[in-house]
Amino acid sequence: MADPIYYYNIIKAPVLTEKSHKLSSSGVVTLVVDKRYNKLIIKKAIESVIGGKVVSLRIINVKPKSIKFKGNRGTVGGYKKAIVTFDPSSKIDSNKIV
């Protein structure tokens, strides 16, 4: 389970919103992660892939939403979001996040 390639599959994508962009100046990164994993494994994956000391990690399960599109009903799938606060002394490479 300590394989770095395995950790790359846990982190899906960064969350690119106005709020997450404001938080990034204070060392906070918001990521979409795989639903199947818990907080400890997600923390190890983030420290391995991004390369920084994680101070705090908050996990949010975003529920799926029902939508109508051209008269048809459907759902937009839910996902798991991780809000990560890094140590101020650690340098975070923004290219590794994407």
Show the low-confidence residues of the chain (pLDDT under 50): none
Residue 5 pLDDT: 77
CA angle 57, 13, 50 (to 5 degrees): 55
What is the number of structural domains in the chain?
1
**What does pLDDT average to over the chain?**
88
Query: Do the domain assignments include residue 8?
Result: yes
Structural domain for 60, as ranges: 4-88
Residue 88 pLDDT: 87
Query: Do the domain assignments include residue 53?
Result: yes
- Start-to-end CA distance of the chain, whole Å, equals 22
Residue 90 pLDDT: 80
Query: Do the domain assignments include residue 57?
Result: yes
Query: Do the domain assignments include residue 51?
Result: yes
CATH number where 56 lies: 3.30.70.330
Q: Alpha carbon of 53 to those of 9, 43, 46, 64, 91: distances in Å? A: 20, 9, 9, 32, 9
Cβ-Cβ contacts under 8 Å for 76 (sequence gap 6 or more)? 64, 65, 66, 67
Query: Do the domain assignments include residue 93?
Result: no
Residue 35 pLDDT: 94
Query: Do the domain assignments include residue 94?
Result: no
Cβ-Cβ contacts under 8 Å for 60 (sequence gap 6 or more)? 80, 81, 82, 83
